[in-house]
A and B are shown apart, each in its own frame.
Chain A
Amino acid sequence: MNTSFESQFRATITRSVEHLAPQLVDADELIRHGRSALRRRRAATVVAAAAALAAVLTVTAVAVGAGPSGQRHDPVASPGPTGTGQSDPTGTGQPGPTGTGQSDPTPTADPAPAGVDVLLTGNTIRTASGRLVTIPNPGGGTVTRATGVAGGWVVSSGGTTDLPSIEFLTDAGQLKGFQPALKGAQVGFAADGRSMGAQVGNDIYVFELPSLVVRHRVDVRPRAGGSQLEDLWLRGDRLVARFMTLGDSGPGFSGVVIWNLTTGTSTTSPDLDLRDVSADGKLALLATQQGFGPDATHCVSVVPIGDALSAAGKKVCGPGVSLTHGHFSPRGTWVAVSVSPTGTWLFRTTQLQAGNAEPVSRHDIDFGTWQDDAQLILADERASVVRRCPTTAEPCQRVAGEPEPLLGVITNHH
């Protein structure tokens, strides 16, 4: 090879880009795209895995003569009091005369009713009592998430490319849209499931459930304009929201804003990473990070919250692990803390308030939801294993999972 030509080539192409004006790259826009892509990827992974599993199970069921796999069920159907263990693992909703209990391809599955609301593939919800509810023609095609609220469920549906559509499914299986329409909105709920907050543009709308009437509309710009809404809670007459700044490219706010919906006043608590608010609205769970990168230590703390929030409180940190999220039990007695990369530690709320770092129990599976103050539901990412774990020392019990085509455990706010 002629090295003079190589040198000439190197110098020439370098010159050819010297005139290129630097691009003003909006890192926050990239982050928004990245977050959205991650959410779509996770949802698609869950849907694809469950769909593939459902297909395998359908074939298996047909092969063993379990009945017609393509059978559709009514919007609301009840498989009877036997519940989960004997319900149709294909999600078609009709045990049929042969009974799936006889041809259940999962001899290892717990035959007892799950007693847990779950989202199945095929846009179907199965309630704790075993009732099957079909979600008819959701706006986004495939439902990937459902939350139990007063009078029904709030369901999120969407493919891998579109922002998810958020709609209301009545107990009777009727789908209703919110006005304004919710597309990719961050939502949060009242503890009793009777209201829901959702961001649309610069406003957070507070919908009454199940009427879907807009009760409040809060302009976030004065307090958190230019920031991204990360999470929100409705507690009494307060709307609590966590925002994250989008960087140095413009004005922004990272922290917590609390609006009093009765008085119209609001307060801000900058730089606080709020992860949950107890159902009575009196306690807040904060996450904190000390240091950066591999040396970072993640901690949680429980502090009082009212119309304002302060960071004062003792922290509990997990040596060698990251304590990243937490969920108060319905009555606030317990906090289930998510441990990164996988696991859940159970603390009494009073322990965290006192800074006692020794959990009551440790589980090697992710948090799913609280069933009540006596038992929590744990599930892995694809809901291939769902366990019910008492807050006492009793062992956990597997209540659902593979080979059932689950998409996830449903959290109920009522």
Chain B
Amino acid sequence: MDQSGEQRYREFVVARSAALLCTAYLLVGDRGRAEDLLQTALVKTYIAWDRIKDPGATEAYVRRVMATTATSWWRRRWSAERPAVSLPDSAVADASGELADADEMRRLLLTLPARQRAVLVLRYYDDMSEADVAEMLGISRSAVSSYATRGLSALRHRIGEEINSL
């Protein structure tokens, strides 16, 4: 990378790190690991910098690296975990508002399998379209839709469980 490229890289890092850290935090649920994840993704982005022809695509590239890296971390550490069984949409929607304080929702989000979590974070926190998420994660749009549906259903289910246990 030449000097001007490195300068643009610096500017990108300074401008976007805070927002990207939030995404990383939602993906891994821990400040320290989020910083590790962001750093990993940004170093990979440095390596790929000359191949990223569209400057506007840089941030998407970082998010993709974070999502795939978080998924691979999760696979290594939590390979025995199974996705929650989905329940119908009914019954718990109203209850969600009672329980869903921010930290609790984030904690519940972490109970989801990494791929589901990545889809929900990219789709609902980063406001990406299904098509963009699909392209970013290398999966089909229908798979994105399926992951999102199952992820949200699982969250509703777990919220319902917590309410019932009160």
**Residue among B3, B4, B26 making CB contact with A13, cutoff 8 Å:** B26
The reply on B74 being an interface residue by CB < 8 A is no
Interface 1/0 per residue, B71-89 and A, CB below 8 Å: 0000000000000000001
Closest to A294 in B: B53
- Which residues on B sit within 8 Å (CB–CB) of A289? 2-4
Closest to A10 in B: B124
CB within 8 Å of B: which residues of A? 1-2, 4-6, 8-10, 12-18, 20, 22-23, 25, 27-28, 30-31, 33-35, 37-38, 41, 244, 247-248, 254, 273, 289, 292-293, 296
**Residue among A1, A8, A20, A28 making CB contact with B25, cutoff 8 Å:** A20
The reply on B96 being an interface residue by CB < 8 A is yes
CB-defined A-B contacts under 8 Å, sample of 27? A1-B148, A1-B149, A2-B156, A4-B93, A5-B93, A6-B152, A9-B100, A13-B102, A13-B106, A13-B120, A15-B102, A16-B106, A17-B25, A17-B26, A20-B21, A20-B22, A23-B35, A25-B14, A25-B17, A27-B10, A27-B13, A30-B43, A37-B46, A244-B3, A248-B10, A273-B3, A289-B3
- Which residues on A sit within 8 Å (CB–CB) of B42? 25, 30
The reply on B38 being an interface residue by CB < 8 A is yes
A8, B7: Cα distance in complex, Å: 40
18 more CB-based (< 8 A) A-B contacts, given A23-B35, A247-B6, A292-B8: A1-B148, A2-B93, A5-B96, A8-B100, A13-B26, A13-B105, A15-B102, A16-B26, A16-B105, A16-B106, A20-B25, A20-B31, A23-B38, A25-B13, A34-B1, A37-B46, A292-B4, A296-B2
Contact A9 B47 (CB under 8 A): no
A2, B1: Cα distance in complex, Å: 48
Q: Chain A contact residues: over half helix, strand or loop, or mixed?
A: helix
Contact B109 A13 (CB under 8 A): yes
Contact B6 A31 (CB under 8 A): yes
Closest to A36 in B: B43
A38, B5: Cα distance in complex, Å: 15
Contact A22 B125 (CB under 8 A): no
Contact B105 A28 (CB under 8 A): no
Contacts A13-B121, A17-B26 given; indicate if A34 touches B18 (C-beta within 8 A): no
Contacts A1-B89, A25-B42, A37-B43 given; indicate if A9 touches B152 (C-beta within 8 A): yes
**Residue among A1, A9, A254, A273 making CB contact with B105, cutoff 8 Å:** A9
A2, B105: Cα distance in complex, Å: 17
Contact B46 A34 (CB under 8 A): yes
Closest to A245 in B: B3
State which residues 120-145 of B face A: CB under 8 Å: 120-121, 124-125
